[in-house]
Amino acid sequence: MQLEQLPYTEEQIKQAIEEAWQELLQEADAEDYSLEEYLEHYRKYWDDPDFPNDIPEIIMRAVEEIVGRPLSWYCELVRDPAGFTGEYSFVVVDPKTQKCLTYREYTSDGVNVHRFIHVAGTVVDYEGIVRLVTKLLNQIQSALADA
Amino acid sequence: MDREKVLQALREAQAEYNIENLDEFTKQAWEEGNILDAEIVAELTERAVEILFDQHFLWVHIIESEDCEEWIPDGWYSFVAVHPKTHQCLTVLEDPVYSWESRASFSARIRSAEDAIDAVTRLAELIEQNLKGRAVE
């Protein structure tokens, strides 16, 4: 899939998420285990430090599948004093140009410019993954269009 | 990167954050696992780099921890810096063969004043390389 084919559909996003999950299973040489089953465990043990958190990998593999090429990225699992909040914060960089694709800015009052270099979202279920992949794709598409 | 310039930048950043003894402060942030002090260590490192370049950058930093549940800082920090005008990621260290495996972040251990000097020096050198072209591993 090439960049020119964007925008993407929700169906494509869901397919890319499933493909990302299958890839991870194959790499881990794991038995057949559905994403739904994984997310069920995730909901129970997400703040357990020993729980293998594959959410960032699933999200970025799905994004890369739709964008059509690998991207450099960095993900922070957002915490507060009580522990992991369920929020993931991504910085995505185009390896070809080194441009930060998650850079955004807006003015709240027409004077002050607020700048961000990350895109964040909370994932507690499958819909959360779809929402965050969509949010990242929208931002990346907009950054690539500005280039 | 000239050590004297780095020291001066750190002294200026220290003054901005009202820190008298950087060595004690960084040690304390690590040994006592104080997350708020660790935040200041990260911000101070970023500020020292900005003073060296005499310009602001956009930053994301992560205070690393060994114990994810308790979130106790282990003295390691990761930084991502982006140029506010060009949006270029300045902390990318490019893999010469597999560009997509390039690292977007810079990691450093800061548990003492000497570690802080080393972190600011290496971070500033990486940013300098990326401002000139591309930093390659």
- More reliable by pLDDT, B9 or A46: B9
Distance from C-alpha of B127 to C-alpha of A14, rounded to nearest angstrom: 38
Q: Do B68 and A49 touch (CB under 8 A)?
A: yes
Strand B106-109 relative to strand A72-80, pairing: unpaired
Reported as a pLDDT band with limits 50, 70 and 90, residue B70 is low
The three-class DSSP label of residue B114 is: helix
Q: Which of A42-46, A119-123, B101-105 has the lowest mean pLDDT?
A: B101-105
Q: Is B102 in the A-facing interface, judged by CB distances under 8 Å?
A: yes
Q: Is B100 in the A-facing interface, judged by CB distances under 8 Å?
A: yes
Distance of residue B68 Cα from the nearest chain A Cα, in angstroms? 5
Query: ipTM of the predicted structure?
Result: 0.80
Hey, of B58, B60, B66, B89, which one would you mutate to test binding to chain A, going by the most A CBs within 10 A of its CB?
B89
Distance of residue B87 Cα from the nearest chain A Cα, in angstroms? 6
Q: Is A36 in the B-facing interface, judged by CB distances under 8 Å?
A: no
- As beta bridge partners, residue A36 has none
Q: Is the CB of residue B72 less than 8 Å from the CB of residue B60?
A: no
Picking from A90, A98, A75, the residue whose alpha carbon sits closest to that of residue B91 is: A98
Distance from C-alpha of B22 to C-alpha of B13, rounded to nearest angstrom: 10
DSSP B37-73: HHHHHHHHHHHHHHHHHTS--EEEEEEEEEETTTTEE
Picking from B77, B91, B80, B84, the residue whose alpha carbon sits closest to that of residue B127 is: B91
Q: Do B100 and A89 touch (CB under 8 A)?
A: no
Distance of residue A145 Cα from the nearest chain B Cα, in angstroms? 14
Query: Hey, how many other C-beta atoms are within 10 angstroms of the C-beta on B120?
Result: 27
Helix spans in chain B (H): 3-16, 22-31, 35-53, 113-132
Condensed to tens digits (0 to 9), the pLDDT of residues A52-76 reads 789 999 999 999 999 998 999 999 8
Q: Which residues contact B52 (CB under 8 A, 6 or more apart)?
A: B1, B5, B6, B9, B120, B124
Residue A4 has pLDDT above 50, yes or no: no
The three-class DSSP label of residue A36 is: helix
Q: Which of A48-52, A133-137, B78-82 has the lowest mean pLDDT?
A: A48-52
Strand order in the sheet with B106-109: B58-67, B72-82, B106-109
The size of the A-B interface in CB pairs under 8 A is: 76
In chain B, the percentage of residues whose pLDDT exceeds 70 is 88
Q: Backbone phi, then psi, for B130, in 5-degree steps?
A: -70, -30
User: If you average pLDDT over every residue of chain B, what do you get?
Assistant: 90
Interval A110-137 mean pLDDT: 92
**So what's the pLDDT on residue B98?**
60
Q: Tell me how far CA of residue A134 lies from CA of A13, A16, A20, B118, in angstroms.
A: 7, 11, 15, 40
Q: Which residues contact B61 (CB under 8 A, 6 or more apart)?
A: B42, B43, B45, B46, B77, B78, B79, B80
Tokens of B107: 């990691």
Distance of residue B129 Cα from the nearest chain A Cα, in angstroms? 13
pTM: 0.85
Q: Do B58 and A48 touch (CB under 8 A)?
A: no
Hey, of A100, A101, A113, which one would you mutate to test binding to chain B, going by the most B CBs within 10 A of its CB?
A100
Condensed to tens digits (0 to 9), the pLDDT of residues B7-58 reads 999 999 999 999 999 999 999 999 888 888 999 999 999 999 999 999 999 9
